[in-house]
Structure 1
Amino acid sequence: MSGTSSAGTSGVYEAGDQRNVKQSDIQHAERYNEGQRNSHINNDSKDQRSIANKLAAEERRAEPGDDAETAMAKKDPTLPAKMHGNEPSRGAKIDAELARDDEERLRQKGKA
């Protein structure tokens, strides 16, 4: 019956399994890089940062459209899909058409 215990017997445990690390080893251990970028997800509900830290992170956060693909999408909505070898969506095509119409109207108003 001694082999049916869910905890096992003392012979089951290896030498290092139940040992604690010495405090001197912990104090002199090389630490990981603390505070790495993007280690927290801003909209994670289980993130345990304080509200003040979350607000500070939002203030420091860069504009969401800083990457090159987003900048190109603002100029031409169909460009990201074309860059990836796909056909642009219907909405992107409509957005591009509306942008062209707006530019044309602005040119006509500027000349008038």
Structure 2
Amino acid sequence: MSGHPTTGTPNLYEDGDAHNYSREAIHDQQRHNLRNVEGAEDQQRAMNEMLSENTQAQIEERYKTDPVYRATIHGNKPSWGAKQDADIQAEEAEMLRKKQEKADSMASKKLEHKSAREH
């Protein structure tokens, strides 16, 4: 046996050992997941379940937003179409960022102009 656990997801373990969670960490996770596990017999197991659910939700969200993620997570080379989609997505994000910077800049100039007229 390799000494590493064979169940659960990798983020549930630290250096191959099961992770014990503090009360504060459990409380924070309860607020995030909107679940109460205070009276649960095995709070550590409940915490692992909540973290696993969070990880799964993050993976599903990434599947939706990152065209090349599904292929790379399975060890495959992304298709040409997925790469093109990722490039288009990056270009659109850059255009939106520049547009937002320009809008923010114009708004600050308007405020400066307005305050200068008042004084």
Give the TM-score normalised by structure 2. 0.35
Whose helix proportion is higher, 1 or 2? 2
Structure label with greater radius of gyration: 1
Higher RCO (C-alpha under 8 Å, 6+ residues apart): 2
Give the TM-score normalised by structure 1. 0.37
